Amino acid sequence: MTRQTCRRAAASLAAVAAILGGFRGPALAADPPGLAHPDRWPAAHSRGLTDPKTEAFVTGLMATMSLEEKVGQLIQADIASIRPEDLRDYPLGSILAGGDSPPLGAPDRSPAAAWLATARAFRAVSLETRPGHTPIPVMLGVDAVHGNNNVVGATLFPHNIGLGAMHDPALMRRIGEATAQETAAAGIDWAFAPTLAVVRDDRWGRTYEGYSEDPQLVAAYAGQMVAGLQGAPATWPALQAGHVAASAKHFLGDGGTDKGKDQGDNLYDESELARLNAPGYVAAIEAGAMTVMASYSSWQGVKMHANASLLTGVLKQRMGFDGFVVSDWNALGQLPGCTNENCPAAINAGIDMVMAPDTWKGLYRNTLAQARSGEIPMARIDDAVRRILRVKAKAGLFGPRPWEGRLDTLGSPQHRAIARQAVRESLVLLKNEGSVLPIRGSAHVLVAGDGADNVAKQAGGWTLSWQGQGNTPGDFPNAQSIWSGLREAVHAAGGMAELSPDGSFRRKPDVAVVVFGENPYAESRGDLATLEYQPGAKTDLALLSKLKAQGIPVVAVFLSGRPLWVNPELAAADAFVAAWLPGSEGGGIADVLVGDAKGRARHDFTGRLSYAWPKFASQTRLNRGEPGYDPLFASGYGLSYRRPAALPALPEVPGSPGGADPVPAAGPRP
Ligand code: GLC
């Protein structure tokens, strides 16, 4: 039996096992790879999603729906590939705006009004009264993953890796609330957030979308973020209270793939997979998460999107998830025996809504035929439709939209203040020798580096475009660069600040702040082979060293989506701050770095690493309890003005003696 046929057999066995109602029998002598045992996972239950009144409403609605309309609810198209009038022939349940999809008839970088018009255009057609048509509002979803980041003018919060360094669950809820308001105001019903990845290998291009490598921190945040986005169940329908539906993603084990390969294979055994990833989903489900997005990745060689033992057995039965599971973008085409237009196996495994951005027509036709033939049992179709309509009811799609059109909420001073507090709390001080920090406000400060006056760089991926690239200063009307924040703070204290990206100057400054780091990326385009920063072309190190050689104290502000091997840069700077991807509020960095005229700190550092920091570039998996755990800075590390400390010894070479990729806890290999 070839590897492929073995996997296919395993997948179908997993599907059968789960469809039998959550396989609870004793583990088979040699369980096939990828078969989960729900009774080995924590039990949970969705809060607030089902009640007799809502279920009766859904039952009544379903009684009027044709099979075409039921199948339509299971399919989601992307706004770049569908027109509102198409919904008359294809009664789809949902529309998304992918990271690079512009609003209808508008530039891809547009303010909220264009997004609002787009949402209203699709919704209007879905609600038309037509003979034989049951008006059911289409559900609009976007990747509002650090604010409503598709929209020009929206508040951009720090990406999740920085939020993890805050260790502040209460602030997470406020961030969720502000994000929801700016999303609902633009006519959108659903945010594809929070990401609950527990990231185990920092080569992964989505490391920054994770809060931490620590499952307990992810769990502490999950419930708060879901509650912030959706509101507490007692406040539902969500939209009426300025909230939107959330999507806990990507179920499950997306951050634990071998070598950090995006959409790769998670090789952990079942107990480790559960220990790491269940806490976040239990917290999200108990907070009432309305949707869960499945992961592209595999577990022991079985694609998550076809794994009934996890999607149905664990998530829906054992964890009592009553919302709906949405697939990821064209993920079905990756499954054995499937294409993006044709994949009954995924729906039978437990996918309720298929994100079929540009393949929705073929998928509609094929799924309708499979429903008619019984290849997809009608009970499965009805279960998926019920879950989707239940969520639409709880999210408030059938009711008024008092927040829609309140475009003044986007980038409001209140929301920007929340984001600025998050920036302050996210900063982690890794080095501060000679008390270079805090900078005396009355000093002469040179601000250098290509990240100094560059909001696009400080915002990172998933910003106005999928990769966060191609953005210009004019695209950020409600944002402040790090340079602008530093200038404001220094001038307010009677000092002088000048911007010089290449570090040149006429009059020697008292101190130099160099802002540098990773350029924006998203998903697999951010996957790395090594954690060494700027391997082979250390231009930022050259800038730090040039300033240092002129006797100028140097403060490094490092923008990154993950910990990287920066020992030479750490050695060259007098102070080193991990600033992650702070978003629109660059002023938050000056709040902490620049003191008053006498040099007294205005805000202290409180941030602590939520990911371990490597001593060697080969230390890509640095997780407590796993082989090779010997970080330069352990997770939880962070200095402050009150708690200074000397820098540990810095190996000057990237490679570790014999450093190899320690494998995760041994699990059955496919
Ligand atoms: C992407 C991502 C997912 C996102 C979806 C829609 O590929 O994996 O996180 O929500 O597609 O943009």
What would the pLDDT profile of 20-65 be if each residue is shown by its tens digit? Answer: 344 444 555 688 999 999 999 999 999 999 999 999 999 999 999 9
What is the CATH T-level fold of the domain 413-670, as seen in this structure? Rossmann fold (3.40.50)
Burial of 175 (0-12, 13-18, 19+ CB in 10 A): buried
Cα of 329 to ligand 1 centre, how many Å? Answer: 6
The pLDDT of residue 29 is 63
Q: How many CA atoms lie within 13 A of 308 on its CB side?
A: 22
Residue ID of nearest Cα to ligand 1 atom 8 = 328
Instruction: Tell how strand 302-303 and strand 298-299 pair up.
Output: antiparallel
Pocket test for ligand 1, best of 96, 108, 140, 143 (most atoms within 8 A of CB): 143
Q: Is 633 in the pocket of ligand 1 (CB under 6 A)?
A: no
Closest CA to 443 of 494, 369, 480: 494
CB count within 10 Å of CB 503 equals 20
The pLDDT of residue 6 is 45
pLDDT at 398 over 90: yes
Q: Is 324 in the pocket of ligand 1 (CB under 6 A)?
A: no
How far, in Å, CA of 607 to CA of 600, rounded? Answer: 19
The pLDDT of residue 378 is 98
Q: How confident is the model at residue 18 (pLDDT cuts 50, 70, 90)?
A: very low
The pLDDT of residue 656 is 63
Cα of 213 to ligand 1 centre, how many Å? Answer: 21
- Residue 226: CB partners within 8 Å, gap ≥ 6? 176, 194, 246, 248, 283, 284, 287, 288, 289
Q: Is 143 in the pocket of ligand 1 (CB under 6 A)?
A: yes
How would DSSP label each residue in 35-88? Answer: ---GGGS-----SSS--HHHHHHHHHHHHT--HHHHHHHTEEEEGGG--GGGGG
Q: How confident is the model at residue 456 (pLDDT cuts 50, 70, 90)?
A: very high
Q: Is 329 in the pocket of ligand 1 (CB under 6 A)?
A: yes
Residue ID of nearest Cα to ligand 1 atom 6 = 98
CB count within 10 Å of CB 665 equals 15
Pocket test for ligand 1, best of 139, 328, 467 (most atoms within 8 A of CB): 328
pLDDT at 661 over 50: no
Element (H, E) at 219: helix 215-230
Average pLDDT for residues 130-156, to the nearest whole number?
96
Question: Would you state the structure tokens that stand for residue 392, as one six-digit string?
Answer: 């639409």
Residue ID of nearest Cα to ligand 1 atom 11 = 329
The pLDDT of residue 652 is 83
Q: Is 512 helix (H, G, I), strand (E, B) or coil?
A: strand
How far, in Å, CA of 256 to CA of 386, rounded? Answer: 32
Average pLDDT for residues 480-509, to the nearest whole number?
98
pLDDT at 314 over 90: yes
The pLDDT of residue 649 is 84
Q: Which residue has the higher pLDDT, 225 or 132?
A: 225
Over pLDDT 70: what percentage of the chain?
93
Which amino acids are annotated catalytic?
328, 523
pLDDT digits (tens, 9 = 90+) for 78-90: 999 999 999 999 9
Closest CA to 252 of 222, 287, 230, 208: 222
Cα of 38 to ligand 1 centre, how many Å? Answer: 27
Pocket test for ligand 1, best of 192, 229, 525 (most atoms within 8 A of CB): 192
The pLDDT of residue 622 is 96
Average pLDDT for residues 103-121, to the nearest whole number?
97
Evaluate whether 367 touches 389 at the Cβ level (below 8 Å): no
Instruction: Tell how strand 428-432 and strand 496-499 pair up.
Output: unpaired
Q: Which atom of ligand 1 is nearest to the CA of 466?
A: 12
Cα of 525 to ligand 1 centre, how many Å? Answer: 13
Question: Would you state the structure tokens that stand for residue 29, as one six-digit string?
Answer: 């002598």
Q: Which residue has the higher pLDDT, 2 or 367?
A: 367
Extents of the domains making up the chain: 37-144+188-402, 413-670
pLDDT at 4 over 50: no
Pocket test for ligand 1, best of 329, 359, 465 (most atoms within 8 A of CB): 329
The pLDDT of residue 30 is 80
Q: How confident is the model at residue 3 (pLDDT cuts 50, 70, 90)?
A: very low
- Residue 473: CB partners within 8 Å, gap ≥ 6? 453, 455, 456, 481
Q: How confident is the model at residue 321 (pLDDT cuts 50, 70, 90)?
A: very high
Instruction: Lay out the sheet containing 302-303: strands in order across.
Output: 265-266, 298-299, 302-303
Cα of 328 to ligand 1 centre, how many Å? Answer: 6
Q: Is 192 in the pocket of ligand 1 (CB under 6 A)?
A: yes
pLDDT at 670 over 50: no
Cα of 204 to ligand 1 centre, how many Å? Answer: 15
pLDDT at 404 over 80: yes
Question: Would you state the structure tokens that stand for residue 644, as one six-digit string?
Answer: 């200074």
Q: What CATH class is the domain 37-144+188-402?
A: alpha beta
Phi (first) and psi of residue 542, to 5 degrees: -60, -40
Evaluate whether 93 touches 388 at the Cβ level (below 8 Å): yes
Q: Is 41 in the pocket of ligand 1 (CB under 6 A)?
A: no
pLDDT at 669 over 60: no
Q: Is 98 in the pocket of ligand 1 (CB under 6 A)?
A: yes
Residue ID of nearest Cα to ligand 1 atom 12 = 98
The pLDDT of residue 42 is 98
How would DSSP label each residue in 551-593? Answer: T--EEEEEE-SS--B-HHHHHH-SEEEE----TTBTHHHHHHH
The verdict on whether omega for the bond into residue 194 sits within 30 degrees of 0, i.e. cis, is yes
Residue ID of nearest Cα to ligand 1 atom 3 = 328
pLDDT at 5 over 70: no
Q: Record the pTM.
A: 0.94
Q: Is 99 in the pocket of ligand 1 (CB under 6 A)?
A: yes
| Mean pLDDT for the chain overall | 94
Q: Is 462 in the pocket of ligand 1 (CB under 6 A)?
A: no
Q: How confident is the model at residue 648 (pLDDT cuts 50, 70, 90)?
A: confident
How far, in Å, CA of 540 to CA of 556, rounded? Answer: 10
β partners of residue 534: none
Instruction: Lay out the sheet containing 324-326: strands in order across.
Output: 247-251, 291-294, 324-326
- Residue the block writes with tokens 């969705």: 46
Q: What is the DSSP letter of 632?
A: S
